[in-house]
Structure 1
């Protein structure tokens, strides 16, 4: 899938130029494949963009202004929608793309899955040590570390040891 950004190369508006540079710079910096479609130099691009921006995304008067962003022929939004997605770390979803391995979104998801697995394992372990009592942890000996997904747990001498190539953690 190719992202298409409709721009105006000869816009007299500095605000439009800045917005266009912001979108294109972000895409380049994040190595997201895209095509620039110039509506100022190509009448077909201008006509296509104007016809394919949905009615509910068009201004009350006049035509939609660049930059307008599409994934192939699917409309994704204008600069304001792009900016909001970027502020919320949701640009890949906004563009209709899968986040690449190692991206912030994927790393956050892996961390949350890992952390939920650890909490579940700890509560199950602590609950099995004192049946009938609420499971609790002594925070004096606990710590939060970020490990790779699926780090194994090892129980040894009433201690929970997290094993990882990168780091180990002992919880009493």
Structure 2
């Protein structure tokens, strides 16, 4: 299930030419520690650690797969990612007439995203 969610997010980013950096938390303790420390307390599970994919715009936490999926269903992925929607996109049309500056990066679409991803050999995180 984790791999499918990761592929879903990666596929969207690649199809929309949104730059990102993949971080492997299975093989790199520093990446795993960074992710665990930077997922806000109120977004962590009651027990255990947050599971990937966890999405960041630079060091700003944007959300997990469920938040990404909901944003995609509502044509609000660029807002979720903290990016300005490109001209002509469905999301851009829904932004007209509203304040779209809240918690958004000034980076244009295509800017670097930090994306933490696990490529598990098994699903155990220890």
Distance 1:44 1:87, change over 3 A: same
Structure of higher RCO (CA pairs closer than 8 Å, 6+ residues apart): 2
1:104-142 alpha-carbon deviations (Å, 9 max, x no partner): 2xxxxxxxxxxxxxxxx999999xxxxxxxxxxxxxxxx
Question: What is the CA-CA distance between 1:163 and the residue it aligns to?
Answer: 55
Instruction: Give, in whole Å, the separation in 2 of the partners of 1:37 and 1:78.
Output: 15
What does residue 122 of structure 1 align with? 112
Unaligned runs of 5+ in 1: 1-15, 105-120, 127-160
Question: What is the CA-CA distance between 1:32 and the residue it aligns to?
Answer: 0.6
Question: What is the CA-CA distance between 1:162 and the residue it aligns to?
Answer: 54
Question: What is the CA-CA distance between 1:102 and the residue it aligns to?
Answer: 2.0
Instruction: Give, in whole Å, the separation in 1 of the partners of 2:29 and 2:22.
Output: 14
Distance 1:44 1:30, change over 3 A: same
Distance 1:102 1:50, change over 3 A: same
Instruction: Give, in whole Å, the separation in 1 of the partners of 2:50 and 2:42.
Output: 11
Distance 1:39 1:102, change over 3 A: same
Question: What is the CA-CA distance between 1:61 and the residue it aligns to?
Answer: 0.2
Match of 2:55, SS? strand
Question: What is the CA-CA distance between 1:103 and the residue it aligns to?
Answer: 1.5
Match of 2:56, SS? strand
CA RMSD for the aligned pairs? 18.6
Matched length: 103
How high is the TM-score relative to the length of structure 1? 0.51
The structure with the larger Rg is: 1
1:80-123 alpha-carbon deviations (Å, 9 max, x no partner): 0000000000000000000112212xxxxxxxxxxxxxxxx999
Kept in 1, the 8 Å contact 2:25–2:32? The answer is: yes
1:61-81 alpha-carbon deviations (Å, 9 max, x no partner): 000000000000000000000
